[in-house]
């Protein structure tokens, strides 16, 4: 069987071995493996001789970022390489084992014989079980460095959830913001919470502010979303992430359930109609379809336009699930997975209860993230990176 992003086992005779996927033919003619061809292509972009030079380690790391990280705005990756006592020493951090494994392969194909990979996997163990933060200030900027004078990456509002990755200098956290961007946020702006505390805070109806609310001691930006404690015809009482409550005019907010909107079920119904459709690289119709084509076509049925490829679609929506926390995912969320070169290479639509619908060889099917389920595929659980919500 051919997965959408990798070659697994032998190529079936029924498939065209000359087809090119991710820049590499499905079947090579010179005895090299597809992995070897792919990695030599990557290495040759910075080192045509395919023989690494210790004096060029910085150039190799820059090329690794360009070729093996989908988007540094969405992936927490910081890697340093030094030449020490005849070996390459790799330090820094990364979120996913696939990045570490890709580093090992990268330097293998640069023909370095001795590589010491010390890259830390995130989230850091020093965070304990408080891997989430609730924003407690009206609005806060996230910076590319742990310094308020550095470049602003994005901004979060009061009540937003950030996903903590590690403690940083100057009393900052490295984190994923609510839109998935990676950056540094002042520790004073967030209240660290456990998964249980996060679930309790997000349970029940939510109120999204339609307009700016400026009170004497607190400003709530338009777009901020807070849990509803009490709703009456004239007023709504919302909960603040620091434990206080706030009463606001009812016409200032939109109150909604945390249940998926009706359009989600229509998206899923469209995807279900494509079950069994053959997997075709680059396809997006019932004649043949690939993973991002399935997602794009299903959302397009509801008038929602998404980008064509999985790594592009991953920029849209709100971050609602990570490799280490899937409890807040719900039907209609989009799931993203990494290939063995470290980049986003697959996407699917979540159905709830651990199941999702995907286009993957030989065709559109339902798969599970739950070990023991007959539909479970271990490689998908191993390569899952995050989930984004398009429809609230």
Q: According to the 3-state scheme, what is the secondary structure of 233-256? A: CCEEEEECCCCCEEEEEHHHEEEE
Residue 19 has pLDDT above 90, yes or no: no
- Fold of the domain spanning 125-198: SH3 type barrels. (2.30.30)
Residue 107 has pLDDT above 60, yes or no: yes
- What number is the average pLDDT over the span 178-187? 97
What's the rounded Cα separation, in Å, for the pair 38 and 35? 5
- What number is the average pLDDT over the span 286-292? 96
- Asked if domains 125-198 and 262-389 share a fold, the reply is no
Q: How is residue 63 annotated by DSSP?
A: H
What's the rounded Cα separation, in Å, for the pair 317 and 180? 8
Residue 90 has pLDDT above 90, yes or no: yes
Residues in CB range of 345: below 8 A, 6 or more apart: 4, 5, 6, 22, 310, 311, 337, 338, 339
Helices (DSSP H) in the chain: which residue ranges?
Answer: 34-44, 57-68, 97-109, 195-202, 262-273, 291-300, 310-313, 378-383
Cis geometry, peptide bond prior to residue 283 (ω within 30 degrees of 0):
no
- What number is the average pLDDT over the span 182-197? 98
Reported as a single tens digit per residue, the pLDDT across 317-359 is 999 999 999 999 999 999 999 998 899 999 999 999 999 999 9
What's the rounded Cα separation, in Å, for the pair 129 and 120? 18
Reported as a single tens digit per residue, the pLDDT across 293-323 is 999 999 999 999 999 999 999 999 999 999 9
Confidence category of residue 117, pLDDT binned at 50, 70, 90? very high
Torsion 344-42-9-283 (CA) sign: positive
Reported as a single tens digit per residue, the pLDDT across 92-103 is 999 999 999 999
Q: Give φ, ψ of 261 to 5 degrees.
A: -70, 165
Residue 12 has pLDDT above 60, yes or no: no
Confidence category of residue 26, pLDDT binned at 50, 70, 90? low
Quick one: pLDDT at residue 203? 87
- What number is the average pLDDT over the span 116-133? 98
Domain ranges of the chain: 32-121, 125-198, 204-256, 262-389
pTM: predicted TM-score of the whole model, two decimal places: 0.91
Quick one: pLDDT at residue 23? 65
Reported as a single tens digit per residue, the pLDDT across 61-79 is 999 999 999 999 999 999 9
- What number is the average pLDDT over the span 153-177? 98
Mean pLDDT, rounded, of the chain? 93
- What number is the average pLDDT over the span 257-281? 95
Quick one: pLDDT at residue 31? 73
What's the rounded Cα separation, in Å, for the pair 193 and 135? 11
Residue 22 has pLDDT above 80, yes or no: no
CATH of 262-389, one of 3.90.1720.10, 3.30.70.1140, 3.30.450.20, 3.90.580.10: 3.90.1720.10
Quick one: pLDDT at residue 1? 28
CATH of 204-256, one of 3.40.50.720, 3.40.50.970, 2.30.30.40, 3.30.870.10: 2.30.30.40
Quick one: pLDDT at residue 98? 94
- What number is the average pLDDT over the span 145-156? 97
Residue predicted with more confidence, 2 or 207:
207
| Distance (Å) of CA 357 to CA 67, 137, 262, 265, 267 | 28, 38, 18, 13, 11
Output the six-digit token pair for 66: 């360009």
Residue 29 has pLDDT above 70, yes or no: no
């Amino acid at each position: 069987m051919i997965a959408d992003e990798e070659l697994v086992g032998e190529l079936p005779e029924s498939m065209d071995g000359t087809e090119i996927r991710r820049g590499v033919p499905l079947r090579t003619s010179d005895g090299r493996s597809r992995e070897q061809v792919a990695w030599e292509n990557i290495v040759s972009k910075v080192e045509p001789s395919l023989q690494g030079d210790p004096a060029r380690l910085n150039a190799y790391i820059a090329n690794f970022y360009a070729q093996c990280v989908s988007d540094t705005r969405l992936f927490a990756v910081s890697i340093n390489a030094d030449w020490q006592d005849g070996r390459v020493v790799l330090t820094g951090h990364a979120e996913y084992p696939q990045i570490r494994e890709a580093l090992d392969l990268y330097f293998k194909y640069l023909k370095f014989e001795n590589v010491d990979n010390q890259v830390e996997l995130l989230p850091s163990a020093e965070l304990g079980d408080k891997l989430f933060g609730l924003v407690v200030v009206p609005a806060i900027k996230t910076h590319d460095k742990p310094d308020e004078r550095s470049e602003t990456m994005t901004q979060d509002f009061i009540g937003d959830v950030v996903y903590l990755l590690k403690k940083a200098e100057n009393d900052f956290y490295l984190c994923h913001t609510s839109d998935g961007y990676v950056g540094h946020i002042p520790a004073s702006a967030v209240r660290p919470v456990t998964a249980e505390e996060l679930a309790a805070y997000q349970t029940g109806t939510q109120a999204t502010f339609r307009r700016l609310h400026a009170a004497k001691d607190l400003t709530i930006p338009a777009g901020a979303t807070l849990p509803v404690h009490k709703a009456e015809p004239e007023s709504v009482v919302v909960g603040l992430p620091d434990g206080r409550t706030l009463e606001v005019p009812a016409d200032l907010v939109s109150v909604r359930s945390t249940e998926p909107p009706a359009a989600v079920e229509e998206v899923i119904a469209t995807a279900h109609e494509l079950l069994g459709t053959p997997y075709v690289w680059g396809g997006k119709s019932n004649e043949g379809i690939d993973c991002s084509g399935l997602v794009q076509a299903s959302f397009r049925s509801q008038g929602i336009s998404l980008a064509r490829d999985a790594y592009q679609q991953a920029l849209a929506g709100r971050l609602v699930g990570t490799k280490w926390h899937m409890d807040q995912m719900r039907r209609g969320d989009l799931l993203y997975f990494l290939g063995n070169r470290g980049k986003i290479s697959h996407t699917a639509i979540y159905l709830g209860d651990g199941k999702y619908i995907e286009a993957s060889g030989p065709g559109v099917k339902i798969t599970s993230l739950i070990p023991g389920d007959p539909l479970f595929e271990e490689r998908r659980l191993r390569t899952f990176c995050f989930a984004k919500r398009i429809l609230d």
